[in-house]
Chains A and B, each alone.
Chain A
Amino acid sequence: GNSVTQMEGPVTLSEEAFLTINCTYTATGYPSLFWYVQYPGEGLQLLLKATKADDKGSNKGFEATYRKETTSFHLEKGSVQVSDSAVYFCALGGLGGSYIPTFGRGTSLIVHP
């Protein structure tokens, strides 16, 4: 079946450090890929998405490239801020007519000043 694997957290960084959160997926077919962010006490918000191989999604300084050959969609940011502290979820878009995304377990990011 479809699945998403994310790196274990928490990821702890100093402000202005470079961020990578790894995400790999298993799917039959060609899914869309998403990153969602969950700030403390809030619901999930779509951060960025990519719908086909080699697409790069970007938003708020975050980027992720859909790599079909490595089945990966790693999230990166060149310089993190304290306000980026949140839980980040990689998700695989619905396949085979299903509208239901499959979520990873989430990776907590803590950014210190």
Chain B
Amino acid sequence: EPEVTQTPSHQVTQMGQEVILRCVPISNHLYFYWYRQILGQKVEFLVSFYNNEISEKSEIFDDQFSVERPDGSNFTLKIRSTKLEDSAMYFCASRGAGTRNQPQHFGDGTRLSIL
């Protein structure tokens, strides 16, 4: 079964540095998402992306964050000038065309640790 893949599985970065988290969605999917999960807390929506532009974003997704689909396969989340509170698991998800209740398929996540 096709799956969403994320790299790296664990990223350790100094506070203030930039990080790029990478995702390869399922190949025929059209909608892409990033979520984060701070340890012990709920999964929080960050941003959705469709047709090469952001379609929705949460309050968390401020100017520090950006997303890009640089080619036909990758979907990246960039965090500029990281802060300690950015430490979390970051999940990428993708969804095919269809009704808005189609389930999203999630990757295994990238654990981001800010020192």
Chain B, interface size: which category?
Answer: 20 to 34
B86 near A: Cβ within 8 Å?
A: no
Assess whether A43 is in contact with B4, with CB atoms less than 8 Å apart: yes
Contact B106 A97 (CB under 8 A): no
Question: Which of A64-72, A77-85, A102-110 is found at the contact surface with chain B?
Answer: A102-110
Knowing A41-B108, A43-B107, A99-B48 touch, does A93 contact B101 (C-beta < 8 A)? Answer: yes
| Chain A interface, DSSP helix/strand/loop, else mixed | loop
B48 touches A100 (CB 8 A): yes
> Contacts A41-B108, A99-B31 hold; do A46 and B91 have CB atoms under 8 A apart?
no
Q: Which residues of B contact A58 (CB under 8 A)?
A: none
- The complex places the Cα of A71 from the Cα of B108 at a distance, in Å, of 31
Please state if B106 and A104 are interface contacts (CB–CB under 8 Å): no
Point out the residues of chain A lying under 8 angstroms from B108, CB to CB: 41-43
Interface members, chain A 46-66 (any B CB < 8 Å)? 46, 49, 51
- A34 to B101, alpha carbons, bound, how many Å? 10
A28 at the interface (CB under 8 A from B): no
Does B16 belong to the interface (CB within 8 Å)?
A: no
Interface residues in chain A, defined as those with a beta carbon under 8 Å from any beta carbon in chain B: 32, 34, 36, 41-46, 49, 51, 89, 93-94, 97-106
A-B contact pairs, 21 of them (CB 8 A): A36-B106, A41-B108, A42-B108, A43-B4, A43-B6, A43-B93, A43-B106, A43-B107, A44-B91, A46-B105, A49-B101, A49-B103, A51-B101, A93-B100, A93-B101, A99-B31, A99-B56, A100-B56, A103-B43, A105-B42, A106-B43
